[in-house]
Structure formats: structure tokens, C-alpha cells
Structure 1
Amino acid sequence: MLRTIVIACAIIGLATTFARADDRPVKIGWIMSYTGPGAAAGAIADAAIAAFQKQNGVLVAGRKVQIIRRDTTGPAPDVARRIAQELIVGEKVDFLAGMDYTANTMAVAPLSTSAKVPLLIVNSATSGILAKHPYAARFGFTTTSVAKELAIYAAKQGLKNVYTFVHEFEPGLDAEAMFIREFKAVGGGIAGSVRAPMKTTDYSPYIQRIKDAKPDAVFVFMAAGELPSIFLRQCKEAGLDQTTRIIGTGDIVDEANLPTAGDAALGVVTAFHYTPTHDSAVNREFAAVYSNVAPDKSLNFIAATTYDVLHAIYFAVEQQKGELNPDKTMETIKHLNFESPRGPIEIDPDTRDIVQTIYFRKVEKRDGKLVNVEFASVPGVKDPGSAR
């Protein structure tokens, strides 16, 4: 009888151990804007999470995946730092993810480093932000990688003089400097440069300066949102689009805001890392599921990168059979390569930055709807600001 009791207790103890392992969720602290000027990003990320989990389930390696959302309210580094601290200490998250503004990411990254909590970045596009933070990896893009390819493209199109217009914050300054450097390197000239504060809504003085310079084109970087649409409409009202080609990063014709831009966006050429019309089986499947779970949300680059971040997390958990070690997680992420909705991507093991295809797109009207249409691409692009 005693032997039977001992065996029974051992079985119960073993079962309890497995139950506890199974019951312990994989916690992902998702830090993004859900209110304020970047609120659309949080809503689109949520839709992409729902789509990914509809395709892949909410369990991985026997553990439930729990998304713990926190709102930064926009570019607010103090808020981002505080909620990251709460997620690390209070919630004991296994991952930090999301991140939209560079200032917020720079506030959170040191906490990720000191606590050894992997930080997977969806969008912060400033070059060189990963170097001091070994537990951070970027899945979005850098404005330098896009600006460099666009400068080379502009020269090949025979453009001789280009004016640059950017939002005055880190990614904009990066984009401006890289475009100028690369365009000059291939024989181009810069007709002038101007920077606008992030909250500007009247662009007429800037547009007039661009018109007066009579450039062949204007290179534009503006953070995705409603402001690029306002800029494009004011360019059309001023007649700039009749004399000057508008080229830029994909943020300025983000799908969520194309309806607001209207015909002012037609013909705008951009370079970017994702296009909802990208022709691949993976993208078509994801787009279909996304449309089903969030018919009122535009599919855009935030959605595609959110998909990739979750793919990376699920893969890292599977590789470790559910028992997570942050160093093993980062080793797995540093060697990732897979087919994303945007095409083939990988993480550079030396820099932990994204390596991906950059696409050239043109805004066209198809079936009465404005869309970005890819017409050329450059594969295997690394961030020129951190590539070794």
C-alpha cells in the first residue's frame, strides 16, 4: 500500500509539473500607440495579431501566447520607459515587442538590455539604434536603406537636381543625409533642403520654396499618418505636381491614408519594404485572413511587420520547446530567415537588423481604388548605417 501511495504521489507530482508548464503563458509586452497621433498603428497591429493567430493558433510548444498591450500615446519616451518597466518587473514578460517611434524605442532598449528581455522592433526606423542593445532586433526598416536605393533610382531615371523635404526628427534627418550623400555620389545635384516640424499642417511656404528652386524632383520623407496626405494635396493645389516629380519613402503614401490623399497621390513613386498588392502566395493568404478579421482596417507595413515579429517569437519558442532562455532566443532570432508577406527576409547576425527586398512602387488607380503597384525591386538590402 505504501509503495502504491508513493507511486501515485509521484505521478500526481509529475502531472502537476507538466500542468504548470502548460499553464504558464508566453507573455509578450506589446508597446505601441493606441491613442494620440499614432493610434492607427496600434489598431493595425492588433488586427495583424488577430490574423496571425487565426492562421497559427494561440498555443506554441504547449504554451498559450498572451499579448499584454500598453499604450504609449504617441512619441512619449517617459511613458514608454515606465510601461516597459511595469511589463518587465510586474508582468514578467518573456518578450517586449511593437515599438513605433524611435524616441520610445531608445527609452525602452536599455531596460531590455539590463533585464535580458528580447525586444523585437516593428517600426522605429532610425539607423544604428541596435548597436548597444544585444537583446534588440529590428523587423521593420530604416529610412537610410530606402533613401539610398531611391537616390540610385533617381539618378538612373535621369533626374539631375532634386530638392529634399523631410520631417524634422531622427528618421527624417537620416533619410535626408543618406539621400543627399548617395545622390551626389552618382553625379546628382541637390537644389535645396528643408525640414518641417512634425506638427506642421500648412506646407505652403515649403512648397513655394521648392517651386522657386525648379528641381526635377522632390524627395520626401514624412512619418506615416494623415500629414503626408495634407502635404500631397497642398502640392497639387499649388501645381507642384505639374512641374516636379514627387518621390519618397513609402510612408508618404501609406495605404491607410491614400483615400485621404485622393488623386494628389497619383503617380507618386516611392521605395518601401512592403506593398499590400505584393504578388506572393504568403501575402495573398495573409491579406485574405487579415481582411476577414479586420475588414475596416487597411493592410499596410505595420501589419506585415507585426506578422513577422510574431512568426519570430513562435519560432523561437518552438525551437526551445517552450522553455525560454533569452540568450538562446537571441541566437535563434539572429539567424532567422523565412518567407514573409513582404518577401524573403532575414536578420543580419552581426547587427540584428533586417535584411530584405526594397520595392519601387507607383500609385495607380485600379477598380476605382488608389493602390501602390510594384514595378522594380532590389533584393538583400541591409541598413547602410550599421551594415558591416
Structure 2
Amino acid sequence: MVISRRNFLSTTVAASAVLTCPGLVKSVFAAAESIKIGVPTGITGNWSALGLQIQRACKLFEKATNADGGIDGRQVQFFYEDTQGDPATCVRKTSELIERNKINLVTGIISSPESLAVMPRLEEWNALYVASVTGVGSITAKNFVPNAFRSCSSGPMRARTIALWLAKGPEKRFFSIAQDYAWGKTSVETFGKLLAGMNKEQIGSVLTPLGAKDYSSYIAKIREANPEVLYVAMSGDDATAFLKQAAQYRLSDRMKIITEVLDLLNTKPLGEVGLGLTGVSQYNFGYDTPKNAEFVKLFKAEYGDIPDTWEGESWQALQFLREAILRAKSTDTAAVRAALEGLEIDSVKGKVTMRACDHQAEQQVFMATLENQSGLPYPTPKIIQAFASPDVVPECRKDSY
């Protein structure tokens, strides 16, 4: 190899810069290195519709953040893997994201069993996980691990909100239907205990297998029990299928239906027959706060529609990560974890604080009802009451009241 005088001098100057000013060179490389976030989520299978919402929020966040100069001068880059809602697949795909792409920040996991399978591996992976969907109460209670956080509301929080809303009502007889896995089971259990404390009765409950298509036998049991209120803890394609069949059987003519997850995903297919359906609106596009208005405007410009529950919840999780990275001035796992603990952000839901003791985000929870609203082609959830975080968030490391 022939080295010219010019190359020799250039190399010498560069080497001298490294020796005399290593901080400068380090900062140049750091500025060029992107912030990588892994998203193991449901791209196919029963959770694909929820997974699509998560991906849309992440892609919009990446586009808007990078156009604004990134986070602390660093561009953001998302990496996606399909878990198909299977816990073992989720662990494998998360591991691949971390090892192949050198990722230590993870979000977007959907089901509770997936989260519970991944969490024990976080310390080994030296990775941090922010749950934006998972509802099972135990991830911030008996299954708590230091590297896991939950930015969304939990199932127990939503059950508590519904119970408080129903407390003054005359109805005494309740029936529950939920998906047969961790979140559904804990929601029904929590709701039943809350009813007992209000001198009301859960006269029956059924758990349905994930991916069920026909709910006629379950609806027959509900009709036979003849409750005054039907409590629904279902999400994804299952919730859509059940609510459509419930409308066909005109269940709402016989009883009040209250859902723990009042998502556009599940209510759009109902059309006008869904009017009056009431439940928890975890994230609500109509909540009047500057941060939410900004998000809705960005979302409409990009997708031509209003954001739904999991788009808003995913956005809130990413807001937490953004502010923690800025506070830590690093993406180091321990540094971001320390920055998240006790962090308060001005979010799409107002002021939200990540509790340090168990990593549950303290936030208000909305009750809403489906109404026709001006300028929108389908019924949408309108907030009828907001319950403050002290009223609905369990005590530290507890998932019951």
C-alpha cells in the first residue's frame, strides 16, 4: 500500500485529535448513533389489529421526532418483530431484537402472558421494558421487576373505575364475561370483590377462549341469568366479535352493557347500534389538553383519522421514554430506569407520574359513552366522567383494593 504525504498528514491529524480531544470524537460518534427501540408485537394473529395501532403510533413518533431533530440530537429508529400473541415466540423475538440489533429499550408487547414471560429475562438482557398495553395487575405487584414499567392503566384500575361509576346506581345484579387469560381473570376477580363491597352481587361469570368466533352459547347463559348489568373485559378481535353478536341478540335491550375497553376498534363495526354503549376510554382523542390536541393533529395529518386507544397509549409510553432519555442524557438501561422513576410528564392524558415504588404510571381514567359527534362519520366515545388517579390506582405493589 502506497501512502501519500497528504494521506499521512491527514491520518496524523486525525489520530492527534483522538489523543488530544477524545471527548470531541466520542460526541461525534454518539450524535451519529440512533436511539433504537424494539417493538415485539402482534403483526399477525388475534392481536394484529392492536399491533397495527402500536406500529402506527411508533412510525408517527419516529417521523415527527426525527423531523424535529431527534432526541438530544440523536435520531430514533424502531425495529419490529411479530410475536403472534404467543409468549414463547415473544421471548424469542425480543431476545433476537436485543442481541441482533443491540437494543435495550422495548415497548409494544400486547398480551399479559407475553409480558409476564419476557419480564424475568430483562435483567439478563440488560434491557428496559415499558408496557403500553398489558393490563394484568401483577406486573407492578407480585411479578414486579426493576426493569419493567407500565405507562398505561391496569385492568384493576379500569375495573375500579367502572365500580365507582356504578356505585350510586340502582342496579344490584351483575354478570361478567372476559377472555380466559391473566388480564380477563384478574379484572373479573377484582370487579367481583368491588361489587361485594358495594352491597351488589356478581350472579355469574364466563371466561371465553382467545380467538373464539361464536359467542352464542355464552350469550344464552347471560340471557338465562338475566342480570341488570353485563360487565365485559375483552379486547382485540374477540371483543369486536362478541359486541357484534350481542347487538344481533339485542342484549342491550335487556341489560346495561359496560365494557372495560371502549375502543373504536371494537365499536366502529357496530355503527349506530352501538350508540349508548358505555365503558372505560383509556385514551380519548377528545380529551382537552394541548399535548393531546397536538397528537391528534399529527395523527389526522398522517393517517386521515382520529387515534384510537392503543395509538394514544403507545404515544404516552414513547413520551415517557423520550423524557427519560433527555433527563438521563443517555440510553443506558440503568440511567433510563433511574430517570423514569418518579418522572412526571405532560401527556395526552394530562399530568401523568411514573410511580417509583412499583413503576405504575399514576393517571386519571375516563368513563365514556358512544355518541354521534359533529364532523365524525361514526359514533365515538365521549367522556362523561374522569376519575382521578388517587381514586383508582391501587397502593404500591398491590393489584387489588
- Settle same-fold status: TM greater than 0.5: yes
SS in 1 for 2:76: strand
- Answer yes or no: is 1:201 the counterpart of 2:213: yes
Superposed CA RMSD in Å reads 2.4
SS in 1 for 2:146: coil
Measure, in 2, the Cα distance between the counterparts of 1:203 and 1:41. 21
8 Å CA contact 1:146, 1:272 repeated in 2: no
- Answer yes or no: is 1:348 the counterpart of 2:346: no
Match of 1:21 in 2: 30
8 Å CA contact 1:151, 1:182 repeated in 2: yes
CA offset at residue 54 of structure 1?
A: 4.3
Match of 2:237 in 1: 226
**Greater alpha carbon shift after TM alignment, 343-352 vs 33-42:** 33-42
CA offset at residue 7 of structure 1?
A: 7.0
Measure, in 1, the Cα distance between the counterparts of 2:201 and 2:355. 33
Distance 1:291 1:77, change over 3 A: same
Match of 1:39 in 2: 48
Paired residue for 2:88, among 68, 73, 78? 78
Match of 1:97 in 2: 107
Aligned residues: 381
Q: What pairs up with 1:283-302 in 2 under 5 angstroms?
A: 283-295=292-304, 299-302=307-310
Listed as ranges, the gaps of 5+ residues in structure 1 are none
Match of 1:190 in 2: 202
CA offset at residue 379 of structure 1?
A: 0.9
Measure, in 2, the Cα distance between the counterparts of 1:166 and 1:336. 33
Match of 1:315 in 2: 323
**Greater alpha carbon shift after TM alignment, 231-240 vs 119-128:** 231-240
Distance 1:218 1:8, change over 3 A: closer
Given residue 149 of structure 1, which amino acid in structure 2 is its aligned partner? Answer: T
SS in 2 for 1:207: helix
Paired residue for 1:329, among 318, 325, 336? 336
Match of 1:168 in 2: 180
Paired residue for 1:48, among 23, 40, 57? 57
Measure, in 1, the Cα distance between the counterparts of 2:320 and 2:16. 37
CA offset at residue 6 of structure 1?
A: 7.3
Measure, in 2, the Cα distance between the counterparts of 1:114 and 1:385. 25
TM-score (norm 2): 0.88
Match of 2:7 in 1: none
Given residue 96 of structure 1, which amino acid in structure 2 is its aligned partner? Answer: V
**Share of identical aligned residues, percent?**
21
CA offset at residue 152 of structure 1?
A: 2.5
CA offset at residue 17 of structure 1?
A: 3.0
CA offset at residue 126 of structure 1?
A: 0.6
Measure, in 2, the Cα distance between the counterparts of 1:110 and 1:337. 26
State the Cα deviation string for residues 333-382 of structure 1 (Å, max 9, x = none): 11111121122211111000121101110111224421001011111132
Measure, in 2, the Cα distance between the counterparts of 1:237 and 1:83. 39
8 Å CA contact 1:155, 1:187 repeated in 2: no
State the Cα deviation string for residues 174-193 of structure 1 (Å, max 9, x = none): 11001110011011012221
Q: What pairs up with 1:111-126 in 2 under 5 angstroms?
A: 111-126=121-136
Listed as ranges, the gaps of 5+ residues in structure 2 are 1-9
8 Å CA contact 1:363, 1:373 repeated in 2: yes
Higher strand share: 1
SS in 1 for 2:44: coil
8 Å CA contact 1:51, 1:286 repeated in 2: no
Match of 2:3 in 1: none
CA offset at residue 246 of structure 1?
A: 0.4
Given residue 334 of structure 1, which amino acid in structure 2 is its aligned partner? Answer: E
State the Cα deviation string for residues 57-100 of structure 1 (Å, max 9, x = none): 36222322221111112x21111111111122222113112111
8 Å CA contact 2:372, 2:378 repeated in 1: yes
Given residue 239 of structure 1, which amino acid in structure 2 is its aligned partner? Answer: R
Paired residue for 1:268, among 259, 274, 277? 277
CA offset at residue 261 of structure 1?
A: 1.8
State the Cα deviation string for residues 185-210 of structure 1 (Å, max 9, x = none): 01101222122212222222222222
8 Å CA contact 2:152, 2:317 repeated in 1: no
Paired residue for 2:170, among 158, 164, 175? 158
Given residue 287 of structure 1, which amino acid in structure 2 is its aligned partner? Answer: V
